[in-house]
Amino acid sequence: MEHPPVAPRQPALRVLHGLEVPDDYAWMAHDPEALGDYLRAERAYHDAVTAPLRPVQQRLFTEMVARTAPQEQGPPVGIGAAEFRDLLPEGAQLGQYQRRGGPGEPWQVVVDLDAEAAAVGSTYAESGVREVSPDGQWLAWSLDATGEERYELRFRRIADGQDAPERIPGTYYGGAWAADSRTLLYTRVDHVYRPHQVWRHVVGTDPAADTLVLQEDDRRFELSVRASRCGRWLVIAAVSRDAAESWVVPADDPTAAPASVGGRREGHEYHVEPVVGGPAGFLAVTNHAVREFSLAWLDVGQHEPAAWRPAIGTGPVADEPRRFLDATAFAGHVVVTARQEGQQVLLVLPVGAEGLDWEAAAVHVAPVGTSLELAENEVFDVGAVTVRTESAVQPRVWWDLPLAGGSWVLRHRAEVPNHDPDAYVVTATWVTARDGEPVPVTLVAHRVTPMDGSAPCLLYGYGSYEAVDEPSFSRALPSLLDRGVVYAHAHVRGGGELGRRWWDAGHLAHKANSFRDFVDVARALGSGPGARVDGGRIVARGMSAGGLLVAASMGLDPDAFAAVVAEVPFVDVVNSMLDAELPLTVGEWEEWGNPAIPEQYAWLADYAPYEQVPPAARRPFLLATGAVHDPRVLVHEPAKWVAKLRATDPAAGAVTRPGARGGVLLRVALEEGSHVGAAGRYAWLEEEAGTQALILAAMGIGA
Q: Does residue 507 sit in the same domain as residue 570?
A: yes
Bridge partners of 82, per DSSP, are: 79
Same domain, 548 and 592: yes
Looking at residue 667, its pLDDT comes to 98
95 and 39 in a common domain: no
The residues, ordered by sequence, that sit 6+ positions from 139 with a Cβ below 8 Å of its Cβ are 97, 110, 111, 130, 131, 132, 133, 155, 156, 158
State residue 382's pLDDT score.
Answer: 97
Cβ 555 vs Cβ 607: under 8 Å: yes
Q: Is the separation of the CB atoms in 638 and 84 below 8 Å?
A: no
Smallest CA-to-CA distance from 441 within 372, 533, 366, 563 is with: 533
| 509 lies in the same domain as 563 | yes
Angle at 494 between CA 492 and CA 499, to 5 degrees: 90
Q: What is the CATH number of the domain that holds 485?
A: 3.40.50.1820
At residue 638, the 3 state secondary structure works out as helix
Give the pLDDT score at 674: 84
pLDDT tens, 104-151? 999 999 999 999 999 999 999 999 999 999 999 999 999 999 999 999
Contact yes or no for 523/538 (Cβ under 8 A): no
CA dist 25 and 11 (Å) reads 8
Regarding whether 76 and 49 lie in a shared domain, the answer is no
Please tell me the predicted confidence (pLDDT) of residue 541: 98
Is there a domain that residue 91 lies in? yes
Residue 274's CB: how many other CB atoms inside 10 A?
20
pLDDT, position 4 = 97
Please check whether residues 61 and 76 belong to one and the same domain. Answer: no
Report the chain (703 residues): mean pLDDT per 10 consecutive residues: 89 97 97 97 97 98 98 96 97 97 94 97 96 98 96 97 97 97 98 96 98 98 98 98 97 98 97 98 97 98 97 94 97 97 96 97 93 97 98 98 96 98 97 98 98 98 96 97 98 98 98 98 96 98 98 98 98 97 94 98 98 97 96 97 98 97 97 86 96 98 88
What span, in angstroms and rounded, lies between the C-alpha atoms of 550 and 529? 25
Residue 678: predicted pLDDT: 86
Question: What is the number of domains present in the chain?
Answer: 2
Q: Between the CA of residue 150 and those of 162, 169, 193, 423, what are the distances in Å?
A: 22, 7, 8, 42
Does the pTM exceed 0.95? yes
Three-state DSSP class for 37? Answer: helix
* 511 and 557 assigned to the same domain: yes
Same domain? 44 vs 121: no
Distance, in Å, from the CA atom of 403 to the CA atom of 352, rounded to the nearest integer, reads 14
In this prediction, residue 102 carries a pLDDT of 87
Buried-exposed string 582-612: b where 16+ CB fall within 10 A, e elsewhere = bbbbbbbbebbbbbeeeebbebbbebbbbbe
Are 234 and 213 in contact by the 8 Å Cβ rule? The answer is: no
Residues 608 and 577 in one domain: yes
- With H, G, I as helix, E, B as strand and everything else as coil, classify residue 315: coil
**How would you classify the pairing of strands 362-365 and 343-352?**
antiparallel
Helix and strand numbers (H, E) in the chain are 13, 40
**Residue 134 forms part of a structural domain:** no
Whether 84 maps to a domain, the answer reads yes
Written as one letter, the residue type at 124 is Y
564 in the same domain as 537? yes
- Is 166 domain-assigned? no
Domain contains 598: yes
Q: What is the pLDDT of residues 551-574, one digit of tens each?
A: 999 999 999 999 999 999 999 999
Nearest to 180 by CA among 133, 239, 110: 133
The verdict on residue 336 lying in a domain is: no
Q: Who contacts 353 (Cβ-Cβ below 8 Å, separation ≥6)?
A: 277, 278, 279
Domain termination residue (choose one: 106, 125, 144): 125
- The answer to whether residues 54 and 104 belong to one domain is no
Question: Does residue 547 sit within a domain?
Answer: yes
Residue 102: which domain range?
71-125
Using DSSP, state whether 372 is helix, strand or coil.
Answer: strand
Instruction: For residue 329, tell me if it sits in a domain.
Output: no
Residues in contact with 165: Cβ distance below 8 Å, sequence separation at least 6, in sequence order: none
Query: What is the chain's length?
Result: 703
